[in-house]
Amino acid sequence: MPDALRTRRDRCPGVLRPWPADDGLLVRLRLVGGRLPAHSLRALTTVAERHGDGRVHVTGRANLQLRALPGHEGDLDPEVLRALEHTGLLPSRTHELVRNIMVSPRTGTPTHGRADLRPVATALDAALRAAPHRAALPGRFLFVLDDGTGDLLDRTCDLGIVALDAHTFQLRIGDGWGPTAPLEEAATLLVDLADDFLSLRGEGPTAPWHVTELPTPLTAPAPRDPRVPEPAPPLPYGPLPDGGRHVPVGDAGLGRSDSEALVEAALTAATDELVVTPWRGVLVPGRAR
């Protein structure tokens, strides 16, 4: 049920909706599945140095934040907004707050997980951005996609999936379970349920932010499939079996030297894409052979 004490709308920050902190404006850039092109990290570090506190900060939802940015009456300076858009990390001004899609960071890695969930995450992101009404999802509404390793099973979510094999998944709905279905249907089922949530939550400052706060359930509960794995521990920092490594990011965030080292490592690897993890780290892929 909605919190009886809640009297405000969600104010989760974004780029078009910065948070006014003591040191200036704070913005959050959402990374679908934590995926971060190396050139975008380099560009974002430049923005942080020129306009902010010089650091790129990592969140527990595998997103990025910049602090101490200039603005006027709660809005970013236009020059800063343009610079952030040029990083390629703001593909939608209208839907930036709803792109909350957490994915098993190593999904798609050979011998890791039961299914590659990157296509599901990409399709889900596209579907969220394609429908104007979905911009009304709360900024705290979270999708969690576990590739069957169990690494994200201990993460609370509004909607999610767990891969049971390469072709099948079970839905997560709030703190319960939904039906199983073919993996090719995952993105469609998730956005349909998000639409149902929007229909049920109503409007106004007391409207629910999360599925568990709805007055009625989205679907009838289902038993947990026996193929659902047990929760796995967080990905350890350091070298990984595939030749990559998981680099921790401290509370101070990534500065120029840190970012350049990660970019250089990525550009000499099999891909130029880094992955920010939910454990406040960055996954650097194994080197190309």
Which one-letter amino acid corresponds to residue 225?
D
Listed by start position, the domains of the chain span 11-95+240-289, 107-213
Structure tokens at 259: 């970012």
How would you write the pLDDT of the chain (289 residues) with one tens digit per residue?
444 445 566 778 999 999 999 999 999 999 999 999 999 999 999 999 999 999 999 999 999 999 999 999 999 999 999 999 999 999 999 999 999 999 999 999 887 899 999 999 999 999 999 999 999 999 999 999 999 999 999 999 999 999 999 999 999 999 999 999 999 999 999 999 999 999 999 888 889 999 999 999 999 999 999 999 999 999 999 999 888 899 999 999 999 999 999 999 988 876 789 999 999 999 998 865 4
Write b or e for each residue in 91-111: b if 16 or more Cβ atoms lie within 10 A of its Cβ, otherwise e: ebeebbbbbbbbbbbbbbbee
CATH topology of domain 107-213: Sulfite Reductase Hemoprotein; domain 1 (3.30.413)
Residues 6+ apart with CB under 8 A from 119: none
* CA nearest neighbour of 264 among 256, 34, 238: 256
Rounded CA separation 100/221 (Å):
24
* Beta carbons within 10 angstroms of residue 183's beta carbon: 20
Rounded CA separation 212/224 (Å):
17
Q: For the structural domain made of 11-95+240-289, what CATH number should be given?
A: 3.90.480.20
Rounded CA separation 95/131 (Å):
9
Residue with token string 């490594």:
245
Rounded CA separation 284/54 (Å):
22
Helix axes 78-85, 38-51, angle to 10 degrees: 170
| 19 φ, ψ (degrees, to nearest 5) | -100, 125
